[in-house]
Amino acid sequence: MADKRVEMRDHVIVCGFGIVGQKVVDTLLEHNIPFVIIEVNPEVVKRADELGYKVIIGDATSSRVLKSASILTAKAIAIVMDNDAKNLFAVLTARDLNKRIFIATRSNDDFVREKLVDAGADYIVMPQKTASREIVRELMK
């Protein structure tokens, strides 16, 4: 089913294949950017595998799992799990393994956002805040 280890260069690692992760993958596909997905849920891994994506089953907070996704030669990592604590730990681990990698992540909480910056995240999106602003902008028209 899923690859145990992928050998890639200048690719993007997508941690989490939920709603946000799927949107990230869609955009990477549109731009022909190579990627590998890390996902812990076996059912979600199976679905990604059936779509023909390179996917590793495992916890994206694990150094071993990130190394199996070729983090040392990746250009970027999108850490988009729906768990702020896991995202924070994955950012810390990714930054420790690869000082040059571009790290994009998500956060649901302002306090955690600050911690993600301290941990080395380069770009942080807050989906609920973004969605709220867009809704209010439409309501104000």
Domains, the chain, with CATH or none: 12-139 (3.40.50.720)
pLDDT-derived band at 6, boundaries 50, 70, 90? confident
Neighbours of 134 (CB within 10 A): 10
Give residues with Cβ within 8 angstroms of 77, minimum separation 6. Answer: 12, 13, 14, 15, 71, 94, 101, 102, 103, 104
pLDDT digits (tens, 9 = 90+) for 87-127: 999 999 999 999 999 999 999 888 898 999 999 999 999 87
> Dihedrals φ, ψ of 116, to 5°?
-65, -40
Residues 60-78 have a mean pLDDT of 97
Residues 66-79, mean pLDDT to the nearest whole number: 98
Specify the pLDDT at position 92: 97
The amino acid sitting at 138 is: E
Please tell me the predicted confidence (pLDDT) of residue 27. 97
> What does the alpha-carbon distance between residue 63 and residue 65 come to, in Å, rounded to a whole number?
5
Q: What is the pLDDT of residue 40?
A: 96
User: Could you report the per-residue pLDDT of 27-63, keeping only the tens digit for each?
Assistant: 999 999 999 999 999 999 999 999 999 999 999 999 9
What pTM was estimated for this model as a whole? 0.89
